[in-house]
Amino acid sequence: MRFGEFLKATVLLSAGTATLLAAVTVIGLSRDSDRTLLVFCAVWWIGAVLIGIWLGRRAATSPPIARLLATARTQTTLPELRPGTTIINRLWPLLLYAIVFSALGVFRPPVAAVTAGGAIIWALAWRRQERAVLAIEERDAARFYVDRTSPFQPIRLVRTPGFGGAFLRHPI
């Protein structure tokens, strides 16, 4: 799976997780009618949006992604492309986060409220990284793919030759 597409999927799944947790919170709030918690949620979610926008304001790659790109193993052939397996293999912590905190949020809405804010921050902080990776791929005439590793090992990338500048862009 191309690394830029993986980053885009990560942002979308994080936003989906935030939406799920916010929905669980709202359902819990409608059941309990707690005005204090309602005000807390509104303030925290607005704060989470502002924090996420602030963290994701740069158009350049973040230091962890820059390190990943710099340490990518060079290979002349395309790696095996299995996007579904790659997503599950690399994003299982996000899936676990969504399941555990949604289940807890059914009984304790503040838990879902706080963790929804965390997912909002994560999604907004990483929103520009896919474009930054695409710019590096175009500049270097290379493509980066997520290497197949154990789900418990750090992510690794494979660098393959590209076709030189002006890759097809997908509208966002």
Mean pLDDT by 10 residues, the chain (172 residues): 94 97 92 86 96 92 91 88 91 95 93 96 95 91 92 93 61 52
Sign of CA dihedral 60, 63, 64, 70: positive
Q: What is the pLDDT of residue 21?
A: 96
Specify the pLDDT at position 130: 93
Domain that holds residue 38: 3-60+76-134
Q: SS3 for 169?
A: coil
CA proximity to 3, closest of 136, 133, 167, 152: 133
24: tokens are 């669980």
**Residue 34: both structure tokens together:** 């707690």
- pLDDT value of position 170: 53
d(CA 95, CA 82): 18
Answer whether residue 40 is part of any domain: yes
What's the number of domains the chain is made of? Answer: 1
The answer as to whether 71 is a domain residue is no
Q: Do the domain assignments include residue 93?
A: yes
Task: Specify if 146 maps to a domain.
Answer: no
| pTM for this entry | 0.86
Q: Tell me if 86 is assigned to some domain.
A: yes
Q: Is residue 159 part of a domain?
A: no
Residue 88 lies in a domain: yes
Q: Is residue 106 part of a domain?
A: yes
